[in-house]
Each structure stands twice: as C-alpha cells, then as structure tokens.
C-alpha cells in the first residue's frame, strides 16, 4: 500500500487538525495510507521555541522519508507563492525519488497573482518577451501555477499541479481538487 | 575543491547576471568553486513557454546534484518568506545530503515580517502561547528567520541562516552577509 506524506500549511489554520483528518480520510477512501508518525514522535516537541522548531523540522523530514509519495498543497500562502515549508518538503521529497504530485485551490497563473500582489491592478510591463513587475523584478512567464521549480519538479516526475475548474468555495477547506490529486495518485 | 550551487532569486533582477558573477567571484576568493553548467546546458532552453520552464527546472535540479554544497539566498521575496524556487532547491539539496547553508539580507524575524505584511502594523494576537495574524492563521513563533523547515533544514545540517548585523544597503546587491556564509563554508 502506498503511504503518502501530506505537505501543506493546514497546521497554521485554527481547524487544521480537522482538515488534515478529512484529508487522511480521503486518502484511505482511495486505498492510500497517510504516513503515520512513529511512536517516538507522539510527544509534543519540548525545549525553547527555537529547539521546538528544530525538532519539528527534523520530524517532518523524517515523515517525508517514511512516505512513498508526497502530495503538496501549493495553494498560495501569504503571498503569490505556496507556503515555504511545503515547498521545502516538496523539493526534499523530489530529491529522494518519492512519487510527487500537488494541487492548488487557486487556479490563476503565478504571473497573474504577482500582478495582483505587486502591481495592484496595473499591467505587468512586457519587454523583449519578458514580464516585469513594479518591484523592478522579472516575473516568470511559463504559464505555470507557481515558480517553475515547483511545477517543473512535479511535472517532470509524472505528477500534476491540479487546480479547480471552479472557484474553490473555501481555499483551505474545499477538498475537491485535493481529492482529484489523490484519485490520480491511486491509479499509478 | 568544494563546488557550490548558488540558489537565489537573482535571476529575476534586471542585473541578475552581474550579481551572480560577483557572487561567483566571492566563492573563488575563498577557494570554493561555483557549479558550472555542463556543456550541453549552454544553449538557451527551447520550445513553448511551458517546455522552457520544465527544461530550466530539470537543469537547475541537475546543477544542484552536481554541487557538493548549496548556499541559499533566503532574503524575503514578494512576501514574508524566501523565493519559492530557492526554497525548493534548498530542500532538494538537503535531501541529497549536500552541505547546506544560507543567508538573508533581512535580519527581522519571520513573525515580524508576517505582522508587517498581513497585520499592516497591528500587533499579532497571542492566544495560549500561539501567535495569530489577522488572516486568521497561526504565525510560527520559533524565533527563526523564516519557516522552520528552511531554518531547521540548514541548522540541523550544521549550516546557518546568516543575517546582517546592520541594515543591508541593498537587499539584493549587498554581498557582506553572503560573503560571511561563504567564509563559514570555506572553513569546513
């Protein structure tokens, strides 16, 4: 049975535990198994705030290693790109040769989100085929859902960046697109 | 001689080539060698914008593999966290067992930047030891420079998130803190 590490920023939501439990149920519905923390991980991390952070980082890396696959929630988080921790874990899983796939509940292109976030409605400037934002920086223009390393990393490995065909009713709790990613993974 | 992959968003700057060349010079000054693209990488990526994106993604992954080490520029990019592509490469390098270290030209804590970006000056709400932003989401409070997976990933492997003791004169072109990271790496 394929074991799956769920990478995503749900841990930052007030009802994150419930959302993650719902996602684990979807995995099981499709015959996949969520990665379970080994017994020694069951305790809360202890120590100073920095020590706790380091301990959680090591635990999460270990959990990624334990899984056969990783599904990354790339829904934009506090900016036009996905949550940084999720992205780190996606890169980590890809390098380990895990099955990787992903989804985002925001179907807009990365370049459009940068336009919204940085240019606040003004068009991006086009120059010699490149797009530029008002922050003076180039905007990736590869027709991808996020930075090309993320999208490329999953696409190169046979995964997808699944996006909704409709506007998600709730960016963090609508599991339709996640379920699509799970269904695809279960068919491998 | 230790070969080093430079992960960072310089490619999005109008003078990115010059900045990267300056960074490579610093590496050589300290006896390190920047990863050189193999000959077959010298051509520009071809094809549709999506195909070019995929090709760049594969090339960058290959370059990370070629290096013994990776120095990630975690200076916040279009939000409170580092550039997503850089973070992916950092996770990728960490999983491959590379020497990893990093720097940011912004010395503020991640929690402070979220406060600035999301709360726009209002204090974060504290509840049972957790910090919450006005977007309804928890804010990591581990005294770290960015998401704990990034900071934890490098610290666990003996690397650092070097930050400036002063305010960087130019977030993208001040190489003092980068040089500090290089100096540390050269002493391993």
Interface contact A81, partner B, CB < 8 A? yes
Q: What is the pLDDT of residue A48?
A: 85
- Name every chain B residue with its beta carbon within 8 A of the beta carbon of A146: 84
Interface contact A154, partner B, CB < 8 A? no
Full strand arrangement of the beta sheet holding A130-132: A125-127, A130-132, A138-139
| Pairing state between β A125-127 and A130-132 | antiparallel
Q: What is the pLDDT of residue A43?
A: 57
Distance CA B102, CA B86 (A): 10
Q: What is the pLDDT of residue A41?
A: 63
Interface contact B103, partner A, CB < 8 A? no
Interface contact B67, partner A, CB < 8 A? no
Closest-approach residue (CA) in chain B for A49: B142
Residues 6+ positions from A182 with CB-CB distance below 8 Å:
A4, A26, A27, A30, A32, A71
Contact B109, B103 (CB under 8 A): no
What average pLDDT score do residues A110-115 get?
Answer: 93
Interface contact A12, partner B, CB < 8 A? yes
Helix B49-66 to helix A148-156 angle, to the nearest 10 degrees?
A: 90
- Quick one: tokens of A138? 């180039």
Q: Rounded to 5 degrees, what are φ and ψ at B72? A: -100, 130
- Quick one: tokens of B84? 């997503």
Per-residue DSSP letters for A61-113?
Answer: HHHHHH-SEEEEE--B-SSSSB-HHHHHHHHHHHHTT-EEEEE-S--S-HHHH
Interface list for B 44-63 with A (CB within 8 A): 48-50, 52-54, 56-58, 60-61
Partner-chain contact A92 B87, CB within 8 Å: no
Distance CA B98, CA A91 (A): 13
Interface contact B114, partner A, CB < 8 A? yes
Distance CA A188, CA A186 (A): 6
Q: What is the pLDDT of residue A36?
A: 81
Q: What is the pLDDT of residue B39?
A: 63
Interface list for A 24-43 with B (CB within 8 A): none
- Quick one: tokens of A158? 């046979």
pLDDT tens digits for A26-45? 999 999 999 987 666 655 66
What is the signed CA dihedral for B154, B160, B161, B166, rounded to 10 degrees?
A: 180
Indicate the residue of B94, B132, B151 with minimum beta-carbon distance to A53.
B151
Chain centroid offset of residue A167 CA: 18
Q: What is the pLDDT of residue A168?
A: 86
Distance CA A42, CA A36 (A): 10
SS3 A162: strand
- Quick one: tokens of A174? 């609508």
Chain B closest-CA separation from residue A64 CA (Å):
10
Select from B96, B59, B75, B3 the least CA-distant residue to A84: B75
Contact A66, A35 (CB under 8 A): yes
Select from A11, A23, A12, A3 the least CA-distant residue to A64: A3
Q: What is the pLDDT of residue B128?
A: 84
Partner-chain contact B12 A138, CB within 8 Å: yes
Indicate the residue of B84, B95, B136 with minimum beta-carbon distance to A81.
B84
Contact B145, B112 (CB under 8 A): no
Q: What is the pLDDT along chain B (188 residues), one digit of tens a residue?
A: 999 999 999 999 999 999 999 999 999 999 999 998 766 665 566 788 889 999 999 999 999 999 999 999 999 999 999 999 999 999 999 999 999 999 999 999 999 999 999 998 899 999 988 899 999 999 998 999 999 999 999 999 999 999 999 888 899 999 999 999 999 999 98
pLDDT tens digits for A132-185? 999 999 999 899 999 999 999 999 999 999 999 988 889 999 999 999 999 999
Chain B closest-CA separation from residue A38 CA (Å):
19
Distance CA A74, CA A161 (A): 8
- Beta carbon pairs, A and B, within 8 Å: 198
Partner-chain contact B148 A78, CB within 8 Å: no
Indicate the residue of B12, B53, B138 with minimum beta-carbon distance to A144.
B53
pLDDT tens digits for A56-110? 999 999 999 999 999 999 999 999 999 999 999 999 999 999 999 999 999 999 9
Partner-chain contact A156 B58, CB within 8 Å: yes
Beta strands in B82-174 (DSSP E): 99-103, 125-127, 130-132, 138-139, 161-162
Indicate the residue of B57, B93, B142 with minimum beta-carbon distance to A53.
B142
Place of tokens 């000054």: B29
């Amino acid at each position: 049975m394929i074991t799956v590490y769920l990478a995503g920023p749900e841990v930052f939501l007030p009802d994150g535990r419930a959302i993650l439990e719902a996602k684990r149920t979807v995995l099981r519905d499709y015959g996949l198994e969520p990665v379970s923390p080994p017994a020694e991980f069951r305790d809360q991390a202890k120590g100073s705030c920095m020590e706790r952070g380091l301990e959680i980082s090591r635990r999460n890396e270990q959990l990624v290693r334990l899984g056969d696959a990783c599904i990354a929630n790339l829904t934009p988080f506090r900016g036009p790109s996905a949550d940084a921790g999720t992205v780190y874990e996606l890169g980590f899983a890809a390098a380990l040769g895990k099955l990787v796939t992903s989804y985002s509940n925001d179907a807009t292109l990365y370049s459009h989100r940068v336009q919204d976030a940085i240019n606040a409605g003004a068009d991006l400037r086009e120059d010699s085929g490149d797009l530029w934002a008002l922050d003076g920086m180039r905007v990736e223009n590869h027709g991808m859902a996020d930075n090309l390393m993320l999208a490329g990393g999953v696409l190169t490995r046979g995964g997808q960046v699944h996006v909704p065909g409709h506007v998600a009713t709730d960016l963090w709790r609508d599991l339709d697109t996640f379920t699509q990613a799970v269904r695809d993974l279960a068919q491998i």
